[in-house]
A and B are shown apart, each in its own frame.
Chain A
Amino acid sequence: GAVVSQHPSWVICKSGTSVKIECRSLDFQATTMFWYRQFPKQSLMLMATSNEGSKATYEQGVEKDKFLINHASLTLSTLTVTSAHPEDSSFYICSAIQSIRGYTFGSGTRLTVV
C-alpha cells in the first residue's frame, strides 16, 4: 500500500531558528502533497497544497514567507518553519494523494519551540 514517511517525528528548537520537515512518498509518485497543522485535541487544518515543480498554494491566513514549502521531486515535499516562535509549536502532518480517493498521511512531526 501507499506509504508516506515524515521526518523528523519530533523536534525541539530555539526561538528564532528555522526547522525543516520532510515528507516522502515511499512507493509511489505524488505530484500533490498537503501540509496540515493540528493543535492538541483539535482537528487538522490545511495549511497549503504542495505541487511538484510549481509554487505551493497556501490557505487563507497562512503566511507563505513563514512556512516555506518546496516540492522539488515527485517523492519529496519539505516544509520549513522560518524564524520559529513558541506559537508555532504544533503537530504538523503531511499527506500525499495517489488518486481522488487515495490520501495517505504521514505520522506527523511534533514541533516544540522554546
Chain B
Amino acid sequence: TQLLEQSPQFLSIQEGENLTVYCNSSSVFSSLQWYRQEPGEGPVLLVTVVTGGEVKKLKRLTFQFGDARKDSSLHITAAQPGDTGLYLCAGGSNYKLTFGKGTLLTVNP
C-alpha cells in the first residue's frame, strides 16, 4: 500500500506570512497532484507535477516535485485569508490516486 505523509496537519498563520506544506512517501509516483478543498465541496486541482525536480508556479503558489518523485512541497507566499482551506496532495499510480491526510490552513486577517 502506497502512503503519503503530509505535514503539517494544521497550520494557522497571519495574513502576509509565508508557509510550506510537505508531502512525502517511500513510494515512487508517476504523477503528484495538489488539490484545495473548501468545506462541503469536492477537491479542486491546483497542479499536476510529473517530472522529477519539476517546479511549477501558480501566482503566489510554488510547487516542487522531488528528484526521485517521492516527495513534493507547496509553498505559499504572502498568504491571504482567501487561501484558507484543506490542501491535499495525491500521488497517481496505475490510474488510482492516493491522498495524503491533508493540511488544514487558516489564514487570519
A contacts, CB < 8 Å to B: 4, 6, 32, 34, 36, 41-46, 49, 91, 93, 95, 97, 100-101, 103-108, 110
Give the contact-size bracket for chain B: 20 to 34
Q: Mark B62-102, 1 if CB is under 8 A from A, else 0.
A: 00000000000000000000000010100010011111111
Query: Chain A: which residue is nearest B4 at the CB level?
Result: A43
A41: chain B residues within 8 A (beta carbon): 86, 102, 104
Q: Which of A6, A36, A44, A103 contacts B45 (CB 8 A)?
A: A103
Contact B97 A32 (CB under 8 A): no
Closest to A104 in B: B45
- B50 & A101 in contact (Cβ 8 Å cutoff): yes
Q: Are B42 and A93 in contact (CB under 8 A)?
A: yes
Contacts of A91 in B (CB 8 A): 40
Q: Would A101 and B104 count as touching, CB distance under 8 A?
A: no
22 A/B residue pairs, CB under 8 Å, sorted by A: A4-B42, A6-B42, A34-B96, A41-B102, A43-B88, A43-B99, A43-B102, A44-B43, A45-B99, A46-B96, A46-B98, A46-B99, A93-B42, A95-B97, A100-B30, A101-B50, A101-B92, A105-B43, A106-B42, A108-B40, A108-B41, A110-B40
Q: Which 3 A-B pairs have the closest CB atoms?
A: A105-B42, A43-B102, A43-B101
B interface residues with partner A (beta carbon < 8 Å): 6, 30-31, 33, 35, 40-45, 48, 50, 86, 88, 92, 95-102, 104
Q: Which of B35, B44, B48, B100 contacts A101 (CB 8 A)?
A: B48
**Closest Cβ–Cβ distance, residue A22 to chain B (whole Å):** 14
Check B31–A101 contact: CB distance below 8 A.
yes
